[in-house]
């Protein structure tokens, strides 16, 4: 039985390991031993197993038969899978979200865009990038879909950090984000969805050489 205290520990463990995976501190394929993690967090194995399940749902770890839990790979196949899932699911969410976007929602999207433009570090940029994509789809009214997208967005953040380590990063304006916002302001949801698909596919093309 998972108690409230255990759930707090589950979140603490999952968040800590996710941060290490996304930043690259834990490399693709690195093993995650239940006993080691339990000892680090001074916990039983129950919350560790549950944390691993959360991380697996976020596409950050994989359970390999006879090899245990390992950090998910960043190979060509994995990059393509993440991008194709995002392109499909995020566009579905945007089609439902677009007609419901209020002035306040559009202002929140624009704020995330501006914060991305003003970012001085890759960490600031990726935080703003994640906020932008979450704000696009927040009003869709589909909680299960949003939960799936949160996991995919974390996996995408990992790709962004990997690309930055491989080819460097410098502050820049995100023209794709700007065009998507413009389309939503004019209530052209179909065009916004097409732009979003193209944007995610561009990320996939950029990530593949670094995988």
**Residues 20-59: pLDDT tens digits?**
999 889 999 999 999 999 999 999 999 999 999 999 999 9
- Map tokens 């093993």 to a residue: 31
Q: What is the average pLDDT across 179-198?
A: 97
pLDDT at 2 over 80: no
Given this model, what pLDDT does residue 79 score?
A: 86
- What is each CA distance from 55 to 1, 10, 91, 121, 146, in whole angstroms? 20, 10, 23, 26, 16
Given this model, what pLDDT does residue 41 score?
A: 94
Instruction: Band the pLDDT of 169: cuts 50, 70, 90.
Output: confident
Domains and CATH numbers, the chain: 4-71 (1.10.10.10), 76-210 (1.20.120.530)
End-to-end Cα, the chain, rounded Å: 39
């Amino acid at each position: 039985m998972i108690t409230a205290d255990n759930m707090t520990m589950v979140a603490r463990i999952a968040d800590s390991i996710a941060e290490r995976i996304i930043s690259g501190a834990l490399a693709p394929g690195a093993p995650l031993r239940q006993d080691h993690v339990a000892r680090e967090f001074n916990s039983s194995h129950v919350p560790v197993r549950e944390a691993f399940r959360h991380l697996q749902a976020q596409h950050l770890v994989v359970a390999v038969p006879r090899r245990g839990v390992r950090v998910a790979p960043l190979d060509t196949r994995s990059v393509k899978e993440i991008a194709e899932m995002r392109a499909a699911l995020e566009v579905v969410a945007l089609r439902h979200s677009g007609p419901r976007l209020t002035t306040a929602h559009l202002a929140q999207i624009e704020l995330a865009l501006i914060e991305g433009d003003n970012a001085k570090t890759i960490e600031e940029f990726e935080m703003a990038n994640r906020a932008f994509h979450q704000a696009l789809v927040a009003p869709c009214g589909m909680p299960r879909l949003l939960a799936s997208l949160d996991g995919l967005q974390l996996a995408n953040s990992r790709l962004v950090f990997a690309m930055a380590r491989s080819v460097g990063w410098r502050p820049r304006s995100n023209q794709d984000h700007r065009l998507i916002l413009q389309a939503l302001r004019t209530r052209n949801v179909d065009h916004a969805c097409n732009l979003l698909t193209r944007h995610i596919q561009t990320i996939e093309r950029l990530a593949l050489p670094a995988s």
